[in-house]
Structure 1
Amino acid sequence: MVIPRAAAVVVDGRRALLIKRYLRHQTRSACVMCDAAGWDGPECPGHQYAVLPGGHVEDGEAAETAALRELTEETTLTAQVDRLLWTGEHNGRPASYFLMTAVTGTPLLSGPEAEAHRPNNTFELVWAEPEDFDDLGLYPADLRPPLAELLSPPA
């Protein structure tokens, strides 16, 4: 069974809140990022990338609810869903991306991400502008153009 992913898009001017990651497993077969990148070596080389806050949609849970829950679990922020921005795929799973509004709090790494934070599995909250997306390796890469457009001032 494929578990959908829901993500929260938190915007502050020209910046979006991302989770910067470094992930390295002992073997390629244990690493979902190796699989997504098509890496075929026996060892995982380690991956540096960034994602929008989000995660699994629980059984019976609406994607909007999952995006709000994951945002709070990962960042301590609370918010409301403004609207669905995009749908796509994340590591072969359907993904929904929701714009957040009425965001309150100060972003602090929390929940399972804070507990799992180790040298080979790091998590860091960062505010990023569109020109940062390539260097951060915003994943999935097909999010970069629509997110950059969302963050661009109207012409």
Structure 2
Amino acid sequence: MLIPRAVAVVVDGRRALVIKRFLRREAARSCAMCVGTGWAGAVCPGHRYAVLPGGHVEEGESAETAAVRELSEETTLVARIDRLLWTGEHNGRPASYFLMTDVSGVPVLSGPEAEEHGPNNSFELRWAGADEFASLNLYPADVREPLAELLRR
């Protein structure tokens, strides 16, 4: 059974909070991005991309609770759910995207992302406009258009 992913969409005007990533694993078979993008080589080439804050829905947890928890764990921000924006897939896993409201704090990299931050697994919080989604390689690509539409409103 695939573990669902819950995603927190944090908006500031016409920008969204993303986590810019660089990931390189020793073998392609042990790299979620190699598997998710269909890379056919044996060695992971390294991946530069960005994702929205989020992660696994833990056993017995709702997707809404997971999105709020993951946002806090990854960024130190505290927020609540405004509404479900859309659903989709992330590396073959079901994903739920929630618009956050009443966001407080200043985004600071924290939790496992801060602990794992290094030359082959780096994380950077940043605000990005829709015009940057392609150059940041916002992943999965099918979130770019609905997120851009949200930012245009």
* Aligned counterpart, 1:7: 7
State the distance in 1 between where 2:98 and 2:73 align. 16
The answer to whether structure 1 residue 113 and structure 2 residue 119 are counterparts is no
Deviation string 1:87-117 (CA, Å, 9 cap, x unpaired) is 0000000000000000000000000000000
Could you report, residue by residue, the CA deviation over 1:67-95 in whole angstroms, capped at 9, with x for unpaired residues?
00000000000001000000000000000
CA-based RMSD of the aligned residues comes to 0.5
For structure 1, the residue ranges without an aligned partner over 5 or more in a row are none
Structure 2 portions without partners, runs of 5+: none
Equivalent pairs counted in the alignment come to 153
Query: What is the CA deviation profile of residues 27-85 of structure 1, one whole-angstrom value per residue up to 9, with x for unaligned ones?
Result: 11110100111111110000000000000000010000000000000000000100000
Alignment partners' CA distance in 1, 2:118 and 2:89: 27
Helix, strand or coil: the match of 2:106?
coil
For residues 126-145 of structure 1, the aligned pairs below 5 Å read 126-145=126-145
**Corresponding residue for 2:90?**
90
Runs (4 or more) in structure 1 with deviation over 2 Å come to none
Amino acid at match of 2:133: F
